[in-house]
Amino acid sequence: MRNGRGPDLEVDFTYRMGVQETFGVRAAAIMGASIYDRANGQADTQRMNDMVAVYRDAYPDRYPVAIGLVEPDHGVDAGIAEIHRLRDELHLDGVVWHHYFHGTPLDEPRMVAFVQELGRLKMPAYIHLIAHMTSLVTAARLESLALKCPDSTIVALAPFSHLTQMPEVRRLGEACPNVLFDTSLVWPINHWTIQFAQWFGSERIIFGSDLIYHPEGPPYYVLPALTDILQTTRLSDADKQNVLWNNAERLFPALASLS
């Protein structure tokens, strides 16, 4: 959503479906964009979340899961109120944060309050952990947050995005069983998705493509994690099914109708 206007849903959907068909992605989660006009503060965030719900409602078979936004800078009270609106009015399935764009540390007190509330509501928190974007976002900070929210499920997005981050991410996995690891932007050497599945169990790895909208086409033409999972002999068929579908279904039971 830009300048207060939403996309042409039919055009947007046609593009997204073409990308999904290219990679054989049957269904996906639709998330609020990290970059959007916020001149009107909370009202703009609410409009973005409304758009996510509209998209999900328009194409429920392809986008059965919808993830909304909560901005830390709007404060704890406004954020908690929006979390409840996401669940009770919009029927969204979780909340996503990208702290590079929020400009706040991912383990600050407001985030602790938000993620603890999501735990009480049985909604997952999605948190970007792309390597080296900013010191506001590190595996150590996510560990700090997860330890303060042991009853909350946290999905780390793009945790395998750089070789130098792997030791810290492994420590995160050892210390925080409530953290799942998404396969977006995986470092393409040494089969990190497979290694983490072997270390922590395939129930801790959830497939993610990061096939974001781009007017010139998909951001890449090969998904290393998907290729690794499908071709490896180091994971059983049951493990592969966990990563590619079952773990998402455990987070979002509505997916069972699409199995």
- What does the pLDDT look like over 46-78, one tens digit per residue? 999 999 999 999 999 999 999 999 999 999 999
Question: Which pLDDT score is estimated for 236?
Answer: 97
pTM of the model: 0.92
pLDDT at 165: 94
SS3 for the chain is CECCECCCHHHHHHHHHHHHHHHCCCCCEEECCCCCCCCCCHHHHHHHHHHHHHHHHHCCCCCCEEEEECCHHHCHHHHHHHHHHHHHCCCCCEEEECHHHHCCCCCCHHHHHHHHHHHHHCCCEEEECCCCCCCCCCHHHHHHHHHHCCCCCEEEECCCCCHHHHHHHHHHHHHCCCEEEECCCCCCCCCHHHHHHHHHCHHHEECCCCCCCCCCCCCCCCCHHHHHHHHCCCCCHHHHHHHHHHHHHHHCHHHHHHC
Query: For the chain, which ranges sit under pLDDT 70?
Result: 1-7, 217, 259
- Give the pLDDT confidence score for residue 55 in this predicted structure: 92
Distance CA 180, CA 159 (A): 10
Contact 54/9 with Cβ under 8 angstroms?
yes
Domain 9-250 indexed as CATH 3.20.20.140: yes
Predicted pLDDT at 1: 38
Residue 6 is predicted with a pLDDT of 52
Q: What is the mean pLDDT of the chain?
A: 92
What pLDDT, on the 0 to 100 scale, is given for residue 58? 93
Model confidence pLDDT, tens digit, residues 21-37: 888 888 889 999 988 99
pLDDT of 5 reads: 45
pLDDT of residue 24: 82
pLDDT for res 85? 98
